[in-house]
Every structure is written in C-alpha cells, then in structure tokens.
Chain A
Amino acid sequence: MMDEFIGATRLGAPLLVATWAAIICRRVGVFNLTLDAGMTAGAFVYLCAAMLFGVVHQSFHPAVFVLALASVILAGTIIGAFYGWLITRRKLDEIITGIAVNIAALGVIGSIGKWKDLDREPARIPAFVTADIGNIQAIEWLTISVFAFSLLLAWVYARTVPGRRLSSVGTSVEAAQQVALPFGEYRFRSTIAAGAVSAVAGALLIMLGGGQFSYRIAGAYGFTALAFGVIGSGRFILASALALAYGAVQVPEIQEYLRLTRVPDQLSLATQYLLPLAILVAIDVWRRWKRSRVLHAAPA
C-alpha cells in the first residue's frame, strides 16, 4: 500500500507542478496554453545542460543538478516572457497565441534536437530514482516536498497581501483597476513565473522518470494540468489531491508493465486523456447537486 502511495506521488508530482503553473496564470485571469511547450523545453534543456555540465564534471555532481535546474528555469522564463509580452503588452488573443507559441517552441526544440541528433544520445543525466515505481528506498524527499510546497502556495495566495492582489486581478479586472492595481504587470509576471514553473515540471518528468527523454515527453500533461486548474477553481490543495489521484490511477498499469505482465496499449492511454474530462463532469454535477440542496434547504 505504501509502495502504491509513493508511486502515486512520484507520478503525480510533475503534473502537480504543471498544475501550479496553470493556477498561477488562472489566478490572474490568463488561460495559458503554453504549458506543454514549457514542459518539453524544461525537459530538453535539463537533458542538454546535464549532458554539457556532466561532461565537464566527468560524473554526477550536485553542482550539475543546480546548473541544469538554473538552465531549465531560464528556458521556461524565456517562453513565459515571450508569451506574456504577446498577450499583455501586444494584447493578442491568449488562446490563439498560446497555441502558436506552443507549436513554435516545440518546433525549435525538435529542430535543434534533430540537428544535434540528441534523440539518439543515451540518457547520461542525473535521475534521482530507478524506474522501479514504488521503491521506497529511493530519494522521495523531492516528491514529498513538491506536495508540501502546494500548502505554502495556497497560504501565500490566500493569506498574504501580494497573493490576494494577484487573485483579485483574475476575479475582476475592473475591481483591480478601481484600486489602481497594475493588472497588466501582474499578468505579465505571473505568465513568466508560470513558464519557469512548467519548465521545472518538465525537468521533473525526466528526474522522476528514470532519466529518459523523448520529444513527446510532455504528452498531454500541460493540457491535463490546465484541466485540473479549471477543476480546482484555482485552489492549490485541491489540485494536489487531483494530481495524487491521477498518479494513483496510473500506478497499477505501470507496475504491471514493470513486472512484464502486461504492456500498456494505446487504448488505455486514450482513457487517461479522457479521465480529466470525466472528473470535470463529476465536479460540475456535484456542484449542481450541492446548489440544489442549498436551494431546497432555504426557507420559502
């Protein structure tokens, strides 16, 4: 049971970090479709930086990890800043621009990767764990701290003045204008932060996935994170629970795969993409039921 829990945290951690990025943007009223690009860029830059700095150090070194992570954050910041500049400074449509930036970033990564033949390189990158899902002996502080950090973010957004100001921009731009909040600046900075956070989520995919990289590594994680951001109505703790549940759903299948009892097929993959939609429907039904109960309970 403990193994399953640890496996769920490990599989859910990258998704949770991506969901933070979605919520950070959602809190300021931006529907950020560039999360997939940020994640792929983060994973790719982590691969490149770790290979480059790893070659310099000749072996795995904590400095390699720090340098690689700094590069990842820089890459995510660039994507976030570009997207933020387009939608806040140039006032372009955030959805169409998000799709375009996503495709452009994936095009750049793919072009560089093919040019340098990086997809054929063996993964010589610092991965924290073996591929054995549920191995409690592995370093689990990372995943646990990711989930704990959600509490901190929830506190910052709910209890601190900057957090409340950010949330007010997403709730009502007019109200934010009335109290002279620089909502454009808030949106711009939040988009940059979301870019950096989504890139870290991409790097986590490699770290927790046994050091493997592919150009489709982000899969639909970015869009699933967006769905979780919508489902959780911008709440970090609810997002953590959803990410954990999502990880828990995947654990049995991966365990079977590792025990070589069953190879997951594309059909089961399709159901994973439909899962966030099913949760969205369930949440909406539950909210309606709750509202109807309140209405029935109200005195005539």
Chain B
Amino acid sequence: MSFDAVSLRRMPDALEPRRQRGLLFATVFAIVTVTVIVGKPDAIPPTLFNATTIVIAAVAVALPLQAGFLNVGVEGQMLAGGLAAAAVGGAIDENWPLPIALSLCILAAITGGIFMILPAWALQRYFRVPEVISTILLNFAAQAATNYFTIKIWAQEGTYTDRTPELPSNVQLGALPWPPVNLSILIAVLVAVGYWALLRSHAMLSVRAAGANAAAAELAGRRPERMRFIATITGGAIAGLASCNQVLGYLHGFKDNFAAGVGFTAIIVAVLAPAFPAIVFVSLLLGGVQYGLIYLQGMGASSEMGNLIQAVVLIGCLLYLRRRQ
C-alpha cells in the first residue's frame, strides 16, 4: 500500500465566463449585504484589507497545486516570512533610504516563506514523505518556534508581550487614505496579475503536465521534477510575501500567530476558484465574510464561528460542484 492511493482530484483550473460572472455578482452582492448589515460603508476598507492577504495566500496554494503539490503550510510560511521581515526590519537603521530598507524586508519575508516550504518539498522529493503531513507538521513547528522567538528573544526582561517592537517608519508599507488598506494591495494586484499571465504562459503547461502526469510529461521532453520544484518554491515565496500586509502594513511588527486561519481560507479560494479573476472575487467574498464575523464577534459570537462558516461554505460548494459534474 503506498501513498499513491491518495489521489488529489484535479479541480477545474479555468472557470467558464458564466460562472465567473456569477462569482462577480455574488461578491458584489455579499459586499453590499455586509455594508447594509453593518450599516456603514466603513466595511469596505477592512474587506479589501482581508482580501489582500487572502489573494496572495490563495495564489501561494493554487500555483503549487497546479504542479500536484498541495501546500497546506501557508500559515507556517507566513509566520516564518513575517518573523524574518520583522527581524530584518528591526535591525535596519532608521536613516536608511526607504526603497532599500523596504525591499530588504520584503526579500526577508520571501526568504522566510521559502525556508519553510523547502523542507516539505525535499521530504516529498527525496524521502517520499507526503506533503500534506509535512506541511501540516511544519505549520505547528513554525507556530511554536515563532512563539518562542517572540516571547523569549524579543520580549524585554521581566515583561510578557506577544509581539515584537514597533518597526521603524522606513520599513513600513505606507497607509492609503482608507485604513487599514495599505500599499501591500499593490503587491496583491501584482501577484494576481502575474498569476494570470503565468496561467497563459507556455511554462505553465509544463507545470500542469508535471501535476497531471509526471511520467507522460517526461516522455514529452519536459522536466516535471524541476517544474514542481519551481512551482513549489514560488508558492512558498508568495506565502512569505502574504505576511507583508499584516507585518509591514498594519501591525508594523510581528504578532504571535497573526496568520491564524489564513491558510485554510487560502485553500478554500484555491480549490473553488484557482483561475484569475475568480480568485480575486472569491477572496473579496471571504474577506467580506471575515469582516462580518469580526462585527458579529462584537455582538457576542465566538471567533470559531468564522472557521465553521467557511468550512460549511467549502463543503457546500464542493457538493454543488460534484453534483453538477
């Protein structure tokens, strides 16, 4: 009995225009509903802020998934990326020019993400360890390790804090006129457009071939392992980048377990809408749902309710898609 018995059924990677229009209407409807329910247009900036992280994280899941690598470890990669960005940002002098300082922090976030996904890829490639197990366990390890660094290394003697000190202004992603939306929304746009361009590129054919049938891809002269490696590492880098919205744009420092729940939301988006622009619509939809839930928490609902609703949405959508097939 081998792990090959576990087959990841390929999800449709290009949605037909009718479904995309349907998703667009659903998103607009959801945002309008949230706005009406909450009773103020202030709901839109937090929705955009949530969607920024979700879009980037969803691409971090969707891209390796095209190559047959299910990246369940986005949360761990975000935590590692965020910690690396905060560490580099904290070490940078305030007088450094903003473009250089900020680029270094973003680069550190990317490196952190790669650092977390690389072991999972290597374990799968060389030791046949299922990536689902390795990425999940690495998630837990990242949570514990970042917690240790935050509380034991950065906290001042005799004090308890679950976040690193405030980062200097030259490594903060600038705020836009609609807080908490910040410049990382540009990163999300770049990632989404880049993913769209990639989906239409020749290279993506090789990546998809590696995911669909590695043996056939090899016979056709492709190099499936190389393609899987590139897709996986890029996914990790993008997951690290996803931490910038929170760490550099909003919290201005690393907060313990700041990425809780993002990984699961990203999997939902990547599974339901792996193509562009549907990935953006669904991210906006779930961003709105998340904000609505935070609002409901103020009215006494529990924080776990959010995960429950998202899980029910995912199961419902999967059942619907299966029925249509």
Chain A contacts to B: CB under 8 angstroms: 26-27, 29, 31, 33, 86, 90-97, 99-101, 103-104, 106-111, 114-115, 167, 170-171, 219-220, 223-224, 226-227, 230, 233-234, 265-267, 269-271, 273-274, 276-277, 280-281, 284-285
Contacts and interface: CB of A to CB of B under 8 A. Distances in A.
B137 A276 contact: yes
Contacts of B128: 284
A101 B315 contact: yes
Interface string B144-161: 110110011000000000
Contacts of A95: 6, 8, 70, 132
A285 B137 contact: no
Contacts of A27: 1
A104 B304 CA distance: 9
A109 B302 CA distance: 11
A235 to B, nearest CB: 10
Contact of A230 (B3, B70, B307, B311): B3
A106 B127 CA distance: 32
Contacts of B314: 96, 100
Contacts of A269: 144
B37 to A, nearest CB: 20
B130 interface: yes
Contacts, number: 150
B136 A223 contact: yes
A270 to B, nearest CB: 4
B267 interface: yes
A97 B268 CA distance: 10
Interface string B43-56: 00000000000000
B8 A223 contact: no
A109 B307 CA distance: 11
Given A111-B305, A220-B137, A93 B315 contact: no
A233 B1 contact: yes
Given A96-B318, A99-B264, A101-B311, A230 B130 contact: yes
Interface string B278-314: 0000000000000000000000011111111111101
In the A-B complex, list the 10 residue pairs whose CB atoms are closest, starting with the nearest: A107-B308, A110-B304, A104-B311, A114-B302, A270-B144, A266-B148, A273-B141, A31-B6, A284-B127, A266-B144
Nearest to A86: B315
Nearest to B302: A114
A266 B144 CA distance: 5
Contact of B267 (A99, A106, A107, A274): A99
B137 A223 contact: yes
A108 B311 CA distance: 11
B1 A277 contact: no
B64 to A, nearest CB: 14
A226 B137 CA distance: 11
Interface residues of B, number: 49
B319 A90 contact: yes
A103 B127 contact: no
B152 A265 contact: yes
Contact of A91 (B1, B119, B322): B322
A261 to B, nearest CB: 18
B35 interface: no
A86 B129 CA distance: 26
B249 to A, nearest CB: 26
Interface in B218-263: none
B189 to A, nearest CB: 27
B203 interface: no
A111 B302 contact: yes
A274 B136 CA distance: 11
Contacts of B96: none
Contact of A277 (B134, B305, B307): B134
A99 B128 CA distance: 21
Nearest to A274: B141
B127 A281 contact: yes
B89 to A, nearest CB: 22
B304 A280 contact: no
Contacts of A280: 123, 127, 129, 133
Given A90-B319, A103-B308, A267-B148, A284 B129 contact: yes
B9 interface: yes
B57 interface: no
A227 B271 CA distance: 24
A234 B5 CA distance: 13
A280 to B, nearest CB: 5
Contacts of A97: 315, 318
A143 B19 CA distance: 54
A54 B259 CA distance: 39
Given A31-B6, A266-B147, A111 B129 contact: no
B304 A114 contact: yes
B318 A277 contact: no
Contacts of A220: 136-137, 140
A267 B315 contact: no
B271 A285 contact: no
A223 B138 CA distance: 11
A273 B147 contact: no
Contacts of A265: 148, 152
A220 B132 CA distance: 13
Given A100-B314, A270-B145, A284-B129, 7 more contacts: A107-B311, A220-B137, A230-B133, A266-B151, A273-B141, A274-B141, A277-B138
B147 A33 contact: no
Nearest to A36: B136
Contact of A115 (B129, B145, B302): B302
A107 B322 contact: no
